[in-house]
Structure 1
Amino acid sequence: MIFYRTLTPFKVISFDLDDTLYDNVPVIYQAEQKCIEFLRNASQIAEFSNEMWFDCKKQIFQQDPIFCENVTQWRIKTIHRLLQKYGKSAVEIEKISQDCIAHFLHWRHQIDVPQQNLDVLNQLKQQVPLAVITNGNVVPERIGLNQFELVLTAGVQGRAKPDADLFQQTAQHFGIKPSEILHVGDNLDTDVKGAIQAGCQAVWLNLSGKGITQFSDATLLPTVEITDLAELLLLQS
């Protein structure tokens, strides 16, 4: 554990989800591939490829990055645009889109949260209220995470991290100052920079084995750096 700033008393701990409470890389890769495969089969567009999918997603993001902060709606819009390109009817587009996004979200939630992390959350819940601030689209309850009193999702309740919006909403919900929130996340930009700029305290979960100076996105130092989620149990609120 490394302290970069003075840790002051906190009343709420907020968590990022993806790559903080579980390894998201294999999960999103599999879900993405399942989505593309389903869309290819359902639309009967034989030449539909991964490259077409990612090119379309990129184009939509470039046109409206704020809209894409809701990653589920971004995905739906990508499906719509690809189906429109191949002349599918409005009825076909709606049916295929609904089925495809449901299929994606099923695979998106095939996540095994490490038992140690569940144990840490269960212990922390007895000490301090817990919240989620996520830029993703995982619903905590669908993967067995029911320890949180508040769940805020980018693009649904407000702007994506590192914007201060969801951090401020968390403070308002619990009736506390932003500085009384301890936000835990793996990302030096969205989690650390976002939390510090919003006036919160930040715990950086560093699972890389590399020092903070080796990261180009380390523009703001966290309050604390940890390498194991269990270290949170050593912090005093």
Structure 2
Amino acid sequence: MESQTLVRSDTTRTALQPLTDSDSVADQLDALHHRAVRELRLALPRRPYDRRVRERAALLSGELVRRGARVRVLHPADVARDPAQAEDLRRIAASGAQVRGLPRLPVWMAVVDRDLAIVPSDPALGESSATLLRGRSLVAGHQALFDQVWAGCAPVPTDSGAGGPGRGGLDEREREALVLLAEGLTDEGISRRTGLSVRTVRRTIAGVMSRMGAQSRFQAGVEAARRQWI
């Protein structure tokens, strides 16, 4: 749906854009890869948004940190109850983002710099609906709310024990995929060797490539070996 422009002047543009489902939210996160971002604030509760949104948020966080942006992430303290989200959070922390937890996090939120935000919408429009906000006058309140909550939370240690990420913050699945990639296997070959779906293999490799800044699969294998990640 096209944005509904509420206010426009020579220097500001304020608008609301409904996002009707998780796919729309994920697409907006993907679009941020092409924007010059200085700071990203993320609040990631376990619900309502699906795995695709969390994965896109993890990929975006790693990419922005690599480009020098400041990334801060809030998450619920019971994140370990959801292994998939716990894995995404480990990736975010390993990328260099700042991570803090709190007992209860009811609201999903992404605030980009001071003039763009993705926030929950009316639940009557769907559990995964959201609204894209543009303009400082609309975003300022959400930015202030995030900063206030952030100030009251303790930092989360980023080092992991057994079963957590190893060198370079890689988890076992990422490391295995990189090893097989360096051996020259295709996505289909890696899928057969690991038992993962081809889609999961591609997503895993894309995430690692983004964190390393690799422009090709070959470069990813070479860079992983250079960093002694494999």
Same structural fold, with TM-score higher than 0.5 when normalized by the shorter chain? no
Q: TM-score scaled by structure 2?
A: 0.23
Bigger relative contact order, structure 1 or 2 (CA pairs below 8 A, ≥6 apart): 1
Q: TM-score scaled by structure 1?
A: 0.23
